[in-house]
Amino acid sequence: MSVAINGTNGITYNDGSLQPSAIGKNLIINGNMAIAQRATSVTGITSAGYYTCDRWNIANTTAGTWTQTQDTDVPTGQGFATSIKMDCTTADASLAVGDQLGLETRLEGLNCQQLEYGTANAKSTTLSFWVKSNKTGVYTFEYFQPDSSRSISQTYTISVANTWEKKTITIDGDTSGAINNDNGLGLLLKWWLAAGTNWTSGTLATSWATLSNPNRVSSSNVNLADSTSNYINITGVQLEANTTATPFENLQYGQQLALCQRYYWRWTDEHAVSNATFYSTVAVYGVLSFNTTMRAAPTFTVSAAAHFNIFNSAAATAASAFSASRITENSARLNFTASSARTQGQAAWVEIITGAGKYIESDAEL
Amino acid sequence: MYKKLNDLIENQEADVILRLSDNASIPKDEANTDYQAYLEWVAEGNTPEEADET
């Protein structure tokens, strides 16, 4: 098979197909919305947070109530199986000045160094994504770089209702604002879906500039929260150090899951969690090593301590309390309290009991 | 609201903070965004509950 190397777009094979130019070119993790460890659908969303698809955060300040879904509605023939959907269930047709709604993904500084921001060699980037909504009109996309408190925004237009459209946005590199080479927030990418005048009253910052809230969103931006008929689906998100959009880089599911688990993981019911020891008659301690090194020492949460069984001596006893300690990027000590006493020094193991809604999770999101 | 915890093994204050709303164990790592939120809460003049006596 003959190939033609195209330094801009990638490799063109003799059958006309264009292949990605580099492995790992996509700076976005879970751009095809394949991973949803927390849930596949969450209703009643009124505040910021991570709900379904990993690495995708909602910013919501009193701009309606939403259902978020890992949806199977995808553009035909593009190789995607899932998208993220925001569906308005309570409208806010009259936004207060500070109201906002946005879909965000956050890039770690360590993964942004190839962009060489803050130098004369700062690279242009191209963002490409597929989007579908009933609500046509102007939308704003924003990069925010917190280390230097700088931002740039561009608009895109959804032209046809209820139809998948591919959008491409290319921006210059920022020669002034360096991104720290650390595990903090390097770049925040935000799809603005609704914005009060606190965010729209200035002149849209279409070149890199010091962050100024009135300049972040176009005054023409739609208010996706203005009707319970409104929804938006997004998938196939790719950000690359390039001046044109190349084909979406599809990772193996396991590769992408591991990338997501640097920031968050959840184990659910019937999962064996850890070997453990009765440190006292009721204090049961175990050590848990993570599947992948996490971004930072994570926060540990369980659905309820009583959702865990401690097994030893051919019997199980429920846990009555839980905490974690000695938490690092790689491991943690899990501290359970047994609801019935056993012999100090006995070995044990801990499992999540059967049933939906029972979990242990570890969160090091940006 | 937050609460300190004791570490029974080390016999000292644990290296995590308990967030009472969901009983989350938050490590004292300044790169952890939950710990950053805790530090902001303290900077606003709030004080965590003391750990239970052991």
Query: How confident is the model over A293-344, as pLDDT tens digits?
Result: 999 999 999 999 999 999 998 899 999 999 999 999 999 999 999 999 999 9
Spatial neighbors of A6 by CB under 8 A, at least 6 apart, are A12, A18, A21
> Which residue among B8, B33, B35 places its CB closest to the CB of A365?
B33
- Tens of pLDDT, residue by residue over A106-142, are 999 999 999 999 999 999 999 999 999 999 999 999 9
Which residues of chain B have a CB within 8 Å of the CB of A327? 15-16, 25, 27, 29
- Tens of pLDDT, residue by residue over B3-53, are 999 998 888 999 999 999 999 999 999 999 999 999 999 999 999 999 997
Does residue A9 register a pLDDT over 60? Answer: no
Ramachandran sector of residue A218 (left: φ over 0; alpha: ψ -120 to 50; beta: rest): beta
| A358 contacts A306 by C-beta, under 8 angstroms | no
Does residue A282 register a pLDDT over 70? Answer: yes
b/e sequence A134-172, b meaning 16+ C-beta within 10 Å? ebeeebbbbbbbbbbebbbbbbbebeeeeebbebebebe
When pLDDT is averaged across residues A175-201 and rounded to a whole number, the result is 98
Does residue A8 register a pLDDT over 60? Answer: no
Does residue A4 register a pLDDT over 80? Answer: no
Does residue A148 register a pLDDT over 70? Answer: yes
Does residue A12 register a pLDDT over 70? Answer: no
Which residues of chain A have a CB within 8 Å of the CB of B5? 323, 325
Q: What is the pLDDT of residue A165?
A: 98
Q: What is the pLDDT of residue A230?
A: 98
Record the pTM: 0.94
A143 Cα to chain B: minimum distance (Å): 20
Spatial separation of the C-alpha atoms in residues A254 and A212, rounded to whole Å: 40
| A92 contacts A226 by C-beta, under 8 angstroms | yes
Measuring CA to CA, which residue among A237, A234, A232 is closest to residue A222?
Answer: A232
Does residue A269 register a pLDDT over 90? Answer: no
Residue A184 DSSP label? S
Report CA dihedral (A50, A53, A55, A60) to the nearest 10 degrees.
-40
CB contact under 8 A, B25 and A327: yes
CB contact under 8 A, B29 and A297: yes
Spatial separation of the C-alpha atoms in residues A54 and A137, rounded to whole Å: 28
What's phi and psi for B31, nearest 5 deg? -85, -10
Res. B54 pLDDT band, cuts 50 70 90: low
Which residues of chain A have a CB within 8 Å of the CB of B23? 301-302, 305, 322-323
Spatial separation of the C-alpha atoms in residues A171 and A177, rounded to whole Å: 14
Does residue A20 register a pLDDT over 80? Answer: no
When pLDDT is averaged across residues A79-83 and rounded to a whole number, the result is 98
- Alpha-helical runs (H) found in A106-194: none
Question: What percent of chain A stands above pLDDT 70?
Answer: 94
CA angle B9, B14, B20 (to 5 degrees): 125
Interface of A with B in 321-350 (CB under 8 A): 322-328
ipTM of the complex: 0.97
Does residue A15 register a pLDDT over 70? Answer: no
- Tens of pLDDT, residue by residue over A228-250, are 999 999 999 999 999 999 999 99
> Which residue among B8, B9, B32 places its CB closest to the CB of A299?
B32
Residue A104 DSSP label? E
Interface of B with A in 16-45 (CB under 8 A): 16, 18-19, 22-27, 29, 31-35
Res. A10 pLDDT band, cuts 50 70 90: low
Q: What is the pLDDT of residue B11?
A: 86
CB contact under 8 A, B29 and A366: no
Does residue A270 register a pLDDT over 80? Answer: no
Question: What percent of chain A stands above pLDDT 90?
Answer: 91
Instruction: Using CA coordinates, name the residue in chain B closest to A365.
Output: B33
> Which residue among B16, B19, B32 places its CB closest to the CB of A325?
B16
Using the Cβ of B54 and the Cβ atoms of chain A, whether some distance falls under 8 Å is answered with no
For the sheet containing A150-158, what is the strand order? A49-50, A57-61, A100-108, A185-195, A137-145, A150-158, A209-210
Which residues of chain A have a CB within 8 Å of the CB of B14? 323, 325
Q: What is the pLDDT of residue A17?
A: 57
3-state secondary structure of A144: strand
Does residue A5 register a pLDDT over 80? Answer: no
What mean pLDDT is reported for chain A? 95
